[in-house]
């Protein structure tokens, strides 16, 4: 269930973003704490008035600006890469969330409950809605989350690198069963997937 142990390209790009931001945050907080500590060092008599241009202009305005703009660009690019743009090999699966189950419908008409089958190594576009209250579909190791909202359909692209099983959960508070509103994702190899949706394996 860990977001920092990614098992797919979308989750992995966010993990990379996380480590970069953690490094930056560590440096910035170190800077502030050092400046704070140094203010208490013994001085014969105060440094006089600090230079506002340095403190407010450079440190307060320029520095955060210089940090934030590249970060925003980086995050925007990563975000754009996770969008469900048309793709040759993408599989569309529809998802209906309700209290307290997940129903999945596959190409070819097959349906499952609380187990989501996907092909490994191919993008999967989930078309998510809900029938009662708001839920949110989340498979931490594969991608970010997407809300399941009654009356509208949201799309989320997920992908697993390799065959295996992954835990999914409901991330939006949905009532007394919210804590147990999970599901399992099973990623198949090409042959397994073909068998699952009933294509003849060639």
Partner 1 sequence: MKALQLHHELTAIWRTEPGWRGHLRSVNHSDIGKRFIVAAFVFFAIGGVLAMLIRAQLATPRSAFVGPEVYNQLFTMHGSIMMFLFAIPMFEGLTMYLLPKMLGARDLAFPRLSALGWWCYLFGGTIIVLAMLAGVAPNAGWFLYPPLSGRTYTPGINSDVWLLGVTFVEISAMCAAIEIAVSILKLRAPGMRLDRMPIFAWYMLATAGMMIFGFPPLILGSILLEVERAFGWPFFDPALGGSPLLWQHLFWLFGHPEVYIIFLPAAGAVSTILPVMARARLLGYGAIIAAIMALAFLSFGLWVHHMFTTGIPHMALGFFSAASALVAVPTAVQIFAWLGTLWSGRPQMKLPMLYLIGFFIVFVLGGLTGVMLAMVPFDAQAHDTAFVTAHLHYVLVGGFVFPMLAAAYYWLPHVTGRQRVMRIGEAAFWLIFIGFNLTFFMMHLTGLLGMPRRIDTYPEGMGWTALNLLSSIGGFLQAFGFALFLIDVVLQIGLGRVHRRNPWGATTLEWAMATPAPAYNFASLATVTDREPLSTQPDLGVRLARGEGLLAVARNGWRETMVIDMTTGAPEHVAILPGNSWLPITTAAMLGGFFLSMLAGLYAVAPLFLPMVAWLGWRWAWTNGYHEDVGPLDAGHGYRLPPSFEAERTTGWWGSVLALGASATLFTALLFGYAFLWTIAPNWPPPRLIAPSLAVPALASAGAALSVVTARQGRIAAALGGQAAIVVALVLLLWWAPAPTGHAYAATSAAIAAYGIFHAGTAMLILAFVAARARAGFHSPARSGEVRIARLWSDHGAAAGAFCAILLVVPGWLA
Residues 41-70 close enough to bind partner 1 by CB under 8 A: 43, 45-52, 54-56, 59-61, 63-65, 68
- The answer to whether 116 touches 183, Cβ cutoff 8 Å, is yes
Q: What share of the chain is helix, strand, coil (3-state, %, to 5)?
A: 35, 25, 40
Rounded distance between C-alpha atoms, residue 175 and residue 185, angstroms:
23
Q: Which stretch binds partner 1 (CB under 8 A): 30-38, 100-108, 115-123, 185-193?
A: 30-38
Segment 90 to 129, residues that bind partner 1, using CB under 8 A: none
Interface with partner 1 (CB under 8 A), residue from 7, 8, 9, 11 = 11
For partner 1, the binding residues in 147-176 under the rule CB under 8 A are 147, 149-152, 154-155, 167, 169-176
Identity of the residue, 86 or 151, whose beta carbon is nearer to partner 1 in the bound complex? 151
Interacting residue with partner 1 among 117, 126, 144, 187 (CB under 8 A): 144
The half-sphere exposure of 114 on its side-chain side, counting CA atoms within 13 A, is 6
Q: How far is the CB of 61 from partner 1 (least distance, A)?
A: 6
Enumerate residues 6+ apart whose C-beta is below 8 A from 137: 95, 97, 102, 126, 128, 145, 146, 147, 148, 156, 168, 170, 171
Q: Does 87 bind partner 1 (CB under 8 A)?
A: no
């Amino acid at each position: 269930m860990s977001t920092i142990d990614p098992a797919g390209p979308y989750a992995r790009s966010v993990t990379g973003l996380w480590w970069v931001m953690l490094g930056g945050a560590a440096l910035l907080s170190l800077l502030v704490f050092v400046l704070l500590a140094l203010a208490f060092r013994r001085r014969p008599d105060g440094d006089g008035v600090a230079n506002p241009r340095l403190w407010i202009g450079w440190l307060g305005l320029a520095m955060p600006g210089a940090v934030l703009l590249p970060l925003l660009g980086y995050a925007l690019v990563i975000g754009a890469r996770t969008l469900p743009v048309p793709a040759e090999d993408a599989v569309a699966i529809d998802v209906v969330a309700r209290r307290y189950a997940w129903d999945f419908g596959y190409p070819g008409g097959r349906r499952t409950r609380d187990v989501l089958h996907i092909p490994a190594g191919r993008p999967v576009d989930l078309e998510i809605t809900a029938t009662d209250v708001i839920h949110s579909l989340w498979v931490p190791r594969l991608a970010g989350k997407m809300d399941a909202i009654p009356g509208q359909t949201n799309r989320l692209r997920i992908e697993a690198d390799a065959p295996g099983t992954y835990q999914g959960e409901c991330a939006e508070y949905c009532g007394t069963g919210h804590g147990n509103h999970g599901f399992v994702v099973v990623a198949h190899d090409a042959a397994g997937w073909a068998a699952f949706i009933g294509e003849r394996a060639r």
